[in-house]
Amino acid sequence: MDKKLLDILVCPICKGPLLYKAELKELICRFDRLAYPIQDGIPIMLEQEAREMGSEEVDNLLG
């Protein structure tokens, strides 16, 4: 992912910051517990395409 793109992308729901997880090919919003997929290098920033995450999964990703 391009660093400049990552700097400007925010969660479309809460406008909060996103965490990039390259190994999962996802952008994570910890506040809404949603994972937005990245397909062919393009982030899919649609709520209906996001994967819901449990609080434990988010906590494990954040360390």
What are 12-44's pLDDT values in tens digits?
999 999 999 999 999 999 999 999 999 999 999
CA distance 9 to 26: 13
Per-residue pLDDT, 28: 95
Q: Which residue has tokens 């949603």?
A: 34
- Which has the closest alpha carbon to 24: 10, 35, 32? 35
User: How many residues does the structure list for the chain?
Assistant: 63
Beta strand residue intervals within 1-63, DSSP E: 19-21, 26-29, 34-39, 42-43, 51-52
CATH of the domain at 58: 2.20.25.10
Domain that holds residue 16: 3-62
Q: What pTM, to 2 d.p., does this model score?
A: 0.90
Range with the poorest average pLDDT among 26-30, 43-47, 57-61: 57-61
Per-residue pLDDT, 60: 86
For the chain, what is the domain count?
1
CA distance 48 to 63: 27
- Both tokens of 11, joined, read 């969660």
Per-residue pLDDT, 2: 81
